[in-house]
Amino acid sequence: MRFLRTLFLLGFCAASATAQTGSDVFARARRLVNDGDAKAGRALVDSALAAAPAGSPAYADALYWRGVLAEEGESARTDLLRVVIEFPLSARASEALLRLAQMEFTRGDRVAAQRHLDRLAREHPDTPSQAAGRYWMGRLLLEDSRPADACAALRDARRLAASGDVELINQIEYYARPCDVIEGDAKARADSITADSVRHAAEDSTRKATADKARAGKGKWSVQLAAYGNREDALALVKKLKKRGVDARVTPDKPWRVRVGHFATRAEAADEAQRFSTKSSKALVVEAEGR
């Protein structure tokens, strides 16, 4: 058991050392390219790629850096796409998608850029690249004249950005400067639309009630709820009904009948009569008085 544990620890240390060595190689290669010795920097990356076992994390790292430091765009695009497709679980996959989006944005292909950023958000939601991805999405949406969506993306970018990433935070804040005004205008428009909707609904309701009342006033049929020998009793029932919002009336002649509505058809009156009928009292459909 002790022998196996020793082997495991030795293997782990070797892997860590290899990863560290690879990182040093790529950092040195990037410095050489930045300092103007691009040929030497790319040669270092090519050597690392040749030495890495095919399909290994080290191979994915080297392929990624060869794409990042490539001399021309098509070669860079090819290597970065290989990382995304062949190594989707690699830590470099999200970074490759971000680099691809930046490349397409720079060359003016916003559709391709958005496709890469959407994939980054969908397939790598918990990676550090998300902050930069949302920042670039915000810039893309600004250029597409979608300011509200752009501000939402920039707000996400600021929330996700690491506190130590000062450069990214400054870029986010630069492009987010108009967002307070944009979001204030959007809220004002939304409030205005809501107010208009409420007003139109109230106007529609008033028009409908007026039309219903006009139709009811011209109808031939009424619903009779009760009949009394004493007019005061009929008036008392009408008073109770009016408190409930029912437009009831007392007929002008004895016996004093309490009626509701003037309906155009008997069927409409029958529907209303059913609403007022109870087990102990049945409302009747009758011809309206004075017709």
The pLDDT of 22-33, averaged and rounded, is: 86
Confidence (pLDDT) at 24: 87
Look up residue 167 and give its amino acid: E
Residue 262, classed as helix, strand or coil, is: strand
User: Each residue of 110-142: pLDDT tens digit?
Assistant: 999 999 999 999 999 999 999 999 999 999 999
Look up residue 116 and give its amino acid: H
CB atoms within 10 A of CB 101: 27
Domain ranges of the chain: 19-87, 96-182, 208-287
| Both tokens assigned to 114 | 């958005």
The pLDDT of 11-18, averaged and rounded, is: 35
Query: What is the distance between the alpha carbons of residues 217 and 220, in angstroms, rounded to a whole number?
Result: 9
Residue 229: phi, psi to the nearest 5? -80, -20
User: Each residue of 169-225: pLDDT tens digit?
Assistant: 999 999 998 887 765 555 555 556 666 676 667 677 666 665 555 555 568 899 998
The alpha-helical segments, DSSP class H, found in the chain are 2-34, 38-51, 57-68, 73-86, 91-106, 110-123, 129-143, 147-160, 166-175, 179-217, 231-243, 266-276
Tell me whether the CATH fold assigned to 96-182 matches the one assigned to 208-287: no
Residue 219: phi, psi to the nearest 5? -80, 160
b/e sequence 135-171, b meaning 16+ C-beta within 10 Å: bbbbbbbbeeeebeebbbbbbbbbebbeeeeeebbeb
Task: Enumerate the β-bridge partners of residue 127.
Answer: none
Task: Examine the pLDDT at 237 and tell me if it is beyond 80.
Answer: yes
Sign of the torsion angle spanned by Cα atoms 234, 237, 243, 247: negative
Query: What is the distance between the alpha carbons of residues 188 and 195, in angstroms, rounded to a whole number?
Result: 10
**pLDDT class of 6 with cuts at 50, 70, 90:** very low
Confidence (pLDDT) at 247: 87
Residues 283 and 222 sit within 8 Å (Cβ to Cβ)? no
User: Each residue of 57-66: pLDDT tens digit?
Assistant: 999 999 999 9
Say what angle helices 57-68 and 91-106 make with each other, to 10 degrees.
20
Task: Examine the pLDDT at 18 and tell me if it is beyond 60.
Answer: no
Task: Examine the pLDDT at 7 and tell me if it is beyond 50.
Answer: no
**Which one-letter DSSP state was computed for residue 146?**
-
Short-list 114, 61, 126, 123, CA closest to 88: 123
Confidence (pLDDT) at 4: 32
The yes/no answer on whether domain 208-287 falls in CATH 3.30.70.1070 is yes
CATH superfamily of 96-182: Tetratricopeptide repeat domain (1.25.40.10)
Query: What is the distance between the alpha carbons of residues 195 and 41, in angstroms, rounded to a whole number?
Result: 64
